[in-house]
A and B are shown apart, each in its own frame.
Chain A
């Protein structure tokens, strides 16, 4: 038996870090979070309640003005649509990735991950080239004789949804891929030998077991989409603002900080509620109980 190292920095068994060391190691992270995230958000929320004087008027304006309420609803709807689209488009890719090995798998993985390394601005700009009046899509449609007039594609809500889906797709694919990879091969084999066709195996076994991945992917995409700024700002219609563009306008053009802060407050409430609902109602840890 080796003698346990006794020190403030180690647990008494000598193998684990003590509570104190754990705290010290985590401190820098929490300090940064507190400084760059919690403090500014708290300040903003304070402004929304306290300026110009202690009041709930700023929030009343969000709800009372139908334009603002519509912006909020549009934002939620767009985020939901983007989430649904990326789930539908991303699942097959993740499924393919989880079942393929070798060079082809690496190629697909690179195709999924590479866009993450390029700026959102670049990817959004690329879409505006594709979607503009004399862009690639319109010229192709006209060359094929499918239309004589170019469609209005750019500066529409559809352009926003398409580009956001493209930008956020990796955040859907990667968690689903992770969930699918953690399902042992033997489950599919067991289902097959028990008489399940490939489709039944997928529907009854693989899909339910990959749901935790779908849920975390959806949460990531939905929450990110709610606060998306560059893509709606560059590709969207000025008549169909999203909440982030509205906030930006309030701050930069109208200089109405209290109202912008109230908008952020409403968004924060939605995000928090959503996170709570997901973690309380869906016990996915239980679902995955013995899938080791």
Chain B
């Protein structure tokens, strides 16, 4: 009965249509533990969203709830304003790619890709033709007669991708789809998925714990911790102006220094642990820091400049390690109060003279400094 509806949906929905998704106040409890704790997430049609977080942050549970493998304790999930919260998986018409490919080992590649069409009652000739076409989309045309175990990991994941899009679902869910692949293959697949996303206009929810993957692939990234979204935004925003200490420490490398706020006005003046007072632009304060309270100053290692420059604050760092890291040199040392400080300096001209034990001066541009409430 239900199957006929999908056939119709699958054949009348144009290939370029992604669905919008609205997740409202989603909550999932396992006993006393909140796996997902009141998540609101609006995803535009055709958007590529990454759910990024450490393990146990709830990102997978959210995806499982959208896929219908988990039913939330409360809250709703709507796809194109249709409430799917408690609809079984097989009636959601969503595409999904799993971490471990999950190709059925007893079926040929073609039968694997044709499987969802078979479930939708399409005649054999048509489902084989469409499966062939889907295989061609992921550049595996002609592989139909092989068995899953005759393909490499990357090829298997491309077959899984073909199988997930062959019935033209409006949404594609991806659960760490690249984490089982080695690095080079992973980068190829990232491009492949980006290309498919652009071609099909499908809405993608992509779960990952790999931040560089999230930053390069997604239109917007939701950073999760303890079942809550800590910040959601485009990569640039997340990286350049993290909204809170967690995001600041989770995304990329960051130096933190505990400071005391002395006054807040057109400029914020902060007292540093080694006695200096710095005047920072008011825009440095990301959340409302208050005079007299503790705050954390944050600077990205690659924003530090070697040597005393004009526009910025000067810090003296006693170097402990000088590491050649390919595109940049990584300098690790301690500030006068003992706080660790890292700097990534491109080029090598002035660096050859530095040795562990030296005291080097760095310029911290005022625009590179962010200020958060609280302590490290």
Q: Establish whether residues A184 and B102, one from each chain, have CB atoms under 8 Å apart when the complex forms.
A: yes
Partner of B69, one of A187, A189, A197, A204: A189
Give the tally of cross-chain contacts (CB within 8 A).
79
Task: Kindly state the separation between the CA atoms of A204 and B105 in the bound complex, as whole angstroms.
Answer: 12
- Given known A-B contacts A289-B147, A289-B148, A290-B149, A193 and B90 have beta carbons under 8 A apart: yes
Whether, in the assembled complex, B13 has its beta carbon less than 8 Å from a beta carbon of chain A, the answer is no
Interface residues of B in 2-35 (CB under 8 A from A): 3, 6
Tell me the minimal C-beta distance from A191 to chain B in angstroms: 7
Whether, in the assembled complex, B363 has its beta carbon less than 8 Å from a beta carbon of chain A, the answer is no
Q: Establish whether residues A193 and B94, one from each chain, have CB atoms under 8 Å apart when the complex forms.
A: yes
Q: Establish whether residues A197 and B100, one from each chain, have CB atoms under 8 Å apart when the complex forms.
A: no
Give chain B residues whose Cβ lies under 8 Å from the Cβ of A192.
Answer: 68-69, 88-90
Whether, in the assembled complex, A195 has its beta carbon less than 8 Å from a beta carbon of chain B, the answer is yes
Task: Kindly state the separation between the CA atoms of A204 and B3 in the bound complex, as whole angstroms.
Answer: 16
Give chain A residues whose Cβ lies under 8 Å from the Cβ of B104.
Answer: 187, 190-191, 204-205, 209
Whether, in the assembled complex, A220 has its beta carbon less than 8 Å from a beta carbon of chain B, the answer is no
Q: Establish whether residues A195 and B68, one from each chain, have CB atoms under 8 Å apart when the complex forms.
A: no
How many B residues face the partner with a CB closer than 8 A? 33
Residues of A within 8 A of B (CB): 184, 186-187, 189-197, 200, 204-205, 208-209, 286-291
Partner of A197, one of B68, B90, B106, B147: B90
Tell me the minimal C-beta distance from A270 to chain B in angstroms: 30
A/B interface sample: 20 pairs, CB < 8 A: A184-B100, A186-B98, A186-B102, A189-B102, A190-B96, A191-B115, A193-B67, A194-B96, A194-B163, A195-B90, A195-B116, A196-B115, A196-B119, A197-B119, A200-B119, A204-B104, A204-B115, A209-B105, A288-B106, A290-B149
Q: Which residue of chain A is the closest to B121 with respect to CB atoms?
A: A195
Task: Kindly state the separation between the CA atoms of A191 and B118 in the bound complex, as whole angstroms.
Answer: 11
Give chain A residues whose Cβ lies under 8 Å from the Cβ of B120.
Answer: 195
Give chain A residues whose Cβ lies under 8 Å from the Cβ of B90.
Answer: 192-197
Tell me the minimal C-beta distance from A202 to chain B in angstroms: 13
Q: Establish whether residues B103 and A290, one from each chain, have CB atoms under 8 Å apart when the complex forms.
A: yes
Tell me the minimal C-beta distance from B100 to chain A in angstroms: 6
Task: Kindly state the separation between the CA atoms of A200 and B94 in the bound complex, as whole angstroms.
Answer: 18
Partner of B102, one of A190, A196, A204, A289: A190
B119-147 vs A, Cβ < 8 Å mask (1 yes, 0 no): 11000000000000000000000000001
